A and B are shown apart, each in its own frame.
Chain A
Amino acid sequence: MELFLNSIGFGLVTASILALAAVGLTLQFGMTNYVNFAYGDFMTLGAYLTWTLNVGLGWPFWPALFVGALLMAIPVLFISQFVLEPFTRRSGPTFHILIVTFAVSLILSNLILAIWGGDFQNYNVGTDTPINLGPFILSVQQLGIIALAVTCMVAIHLLLTRTKLGKAMRAISDDKNLAAVTGIDTRRITTIVWVLSGMLAGLAGGVLALNVASFDPNVGVTFLFVIFAAVVFGGIGRPYGAMAGALVIGLVVEVSAVFIPSAYKLDVAFLVLMGVLLVRPAGLMSLFERG
């Protein structure tokens, strides 16, 4: 029982990492209507930028993470404006674009390999004492991850509901042409969302690398399909669905490690992904939403 409760604690940590990643991926999908297969490498890049600031320049971890995420804006702007958007502008999202994002993934992952090398790296975070919190035993860093995710989710909720930008994002996600007709500058909003998506990927990559303790250039890619599972669970393009999906997948993955060898715990996410696609491809959250 103790093991079970503790695994729920770890589940909340995994869910937090997933939520940051999944919301970033799904917001971008809502704007552009295609899946970005380079997203895992965006996360890896965020992890390594954070590493350079943290280990290379000796900054404390959390400021390094935030600045690393801000720096993500530069490569993501470049990739979206000079590589991906020219394709969509020419003929709308055709099937080419999936291959292009895959090629971007190939380039990005090998740039990371060339710059930072293929060895395993760790963050310089010092020793961390676990804290007993009710039934859960979590480290201060893990609590920091949960706090970060909760803060970001609240911020995104406020952005989507209280600001003009957020309303425009929702309008584009519902119907891009209709949004354009009502005077929304869809190109500008899409660019902003790309940057937002890249920053969320950077945060998610940094905390993922922190949580797995030692990481290599594959850290984001191996996690990518878990993010897909969370995103599809909630219905792709729906930020609240992605949050719910992250919570469910995060808990399922960690709790399953109580019953099966933990090497296979992430594979459970695949079963959930297949189940959702077989039963309800629009995402289980579509059951609860109006319209």
Chain B
Amino acid sequence: MPHDLNYYLATLAVYFLVYCVLTLGLNITFGMAGIFDFSYITFMAIGAYFAGVAVLPPSNQPGLQWILGLNLGFPLDLLIGAAAAGVMGLLIGLLAIRRIRSDYLAMVLVAVWTIAWSVTSNMIGLFNGQQGLIGVPQPFETQLGVNPNDYVFVFIPIAAVVLAILFTVAYCIERSPFGRALRATREDQDVAAAFGKRTVRLRLTAMTIGCLYAGVAGALTIEFLSAMSPNAWAIVETVIIFSALIVGGRGNVFGAVLGALLVRIVIIEGTGLLPTLPDHPELIGATRNILIGLLVIAVLYFRPQGVIPERRRRYFEARKPAADTSQEVAKGG
């Protein structure tokens, strides 16, 4: 019994770590640059699929069909998944991120999700269609030879190291001149452009970095679960990641992490503990999503900045003490 509980908590820890990667990535694309990447989950899926076909051996049997099949090991598949998602994000960004209204961009990105979903489901040769990839080997599974029930304890450090790296990168971006420029384009593209910022390039970079994060999260997901099918990346998943970021507080890395904790662990796992009605198995998921929807509307209305607000930085006051400034004003006047 204690082992079951430990196992459950360890699995939750992995979900949380992976979800942090997702919210941190969306924090760069949406939180900092203000891009409505409503196809965000698509890039998670691309990362997962490409990581999957990088690890899996080639196959073309009926029922087990996928492209590539590179037979590679752990860190490489993660990099391939991330790179594939980043390249796709860049390409779609090149098409979609222009000086068009933000709701046009959102419409295009919703359409991107629909197309990606329809193509993956219908073109069986790509990633095994509706069935999805199955039996993807887990990192270090054979080398360590651990019991499958204990594997989760091997995966926690892997996910933790990846998250630590990505968190540091996100933290640095937030405090860098690049991060400031992103926030400037988010607030007003014209003003940022007037100050010499190349807004399209900035937004494109933010979108690509966000997609890289999503790709890493996808690669970690398929490595942990050994499977990925189109049902795992319905469009509602994007809304849920947005909810997590908005509830936690967008524009800062701590808000992104808190959002992952509140939404992925507290709400999603919390509603999972509700009793199931035998005739209506879908009620739990429906309740969960309705709760998330209500929560995000309530947060946007009553506390739009989220639980942990973005820091308002004061660059000028910090330089001089107040007394000096008043003297200067007196002299100048």
Residues in A lying within 8 Å of B, measured CB to CB: 34-35, 37, 83, 86-87, 95-96, 98-100, 102-107, 109-111, 113-114, 117-118, 221-222, 224-225, 228-229, 232, 236, 261, 263-264, 266-267, 270, 273-274, 277-278, 281
Cα distance A37–B282 when bound, in Å? 23
Could you name 17 residue pairs across A and B whose Cβ atoms are closer than 8 Å? Answer: A37-B110, A87-B301, A99-B242, A103-B294, A103-B297, A104-B297, A106-B240, A107-B293, A111-B286, A117-B280, A225-B107, A225-B114, A229-B111, A267-B114, A273-B111, A274-B95, A281-B98
- Set B38, B96, B111, B118: member contacting A102, Cβ < 8 A: B38
Chain A neighbourhood of B292, CB < 8 A: 103, 106
Q: State the interface size on chain B (CB cutoff 8 A).
A: 45
Cα distance A114–B283 when bound, in Å? 6
Contact A267 to B119, CB < 8 A, known contacts A103-B239, A221-B235: yes
- Set A110, A263, A278: member contacting B293, Cβ < 8 A: A110
Cα distance A225–B112 when bound, in Å? 9
Contact A104 to B301, CB < 8 A, known contacts A98-B36, A270-B115: no
Contact A273 to B108, CB < 8 A, known contacts A34-B103, A113-B282, A222-B114: yes
- Set B96, B285, B293: member contacting A104, Cβ < 8 A: B293
Inter-chain contact A106/B236, CB cutoff 8 Å? yes
Contact A278 to B239, CB < 8 A, known contacts A106-B292, A118-B282, A264-B122: no
Inter-chain contact B300/A96, CB cutoff 8 Å? yes
- Set B112, B239, B285: member contacting A105, Cβ < 8 A: B239
Interface of A is mostly: helix
- Set A95, A99, A264, A278: member contacting B296, Cβ < 8 A: A99
CB distance from A29 to the nearest CB of B (A): 9
Contact A35 to B286, CB < 8 A, known contacts A99-B246, A277-B100, A278-B95: no
Inter-chain contact A106/B95, CB cutoff 8 Å? no
Cα distance A173–B138 when bound, in Å? 56
CB distance from B139 to the nearest CB of A (A): 34
> Beyond A35-B103, A107-B294, A114-B287: 11 further Cβ-contacts under 8 Å?
A98-B36, A99-B242, A100-B297, A103-B239, A106-B236, A106-B289, A106-B293, A109-B236, A117-B282, A236-B104, A277-B100
Chain B neighbourhood of A118, CB < 8 A: 282
Chain A neighbourhood of B115, CB < 8 A: 225, 267, 270
Cα distance A281–B289 when bound, in Å? 34
B34 at interface by CB-CB < 8 Å = yes
CB distance from A212 to the nearest CB of B (A): 15
Contact A110 to B290, CB < 8 A, known contacts A99-B246, A277-B108: yes
B276 at interface by CB-CB < 8 Å = no
Chain B neighbourhood of A102, CB < 8 A: 38, 239, 242
Chain B neighbourhood of A105, CB < 8 A: 239
Inter-chain contact B293/A86, CB cutoff 8 Å? no
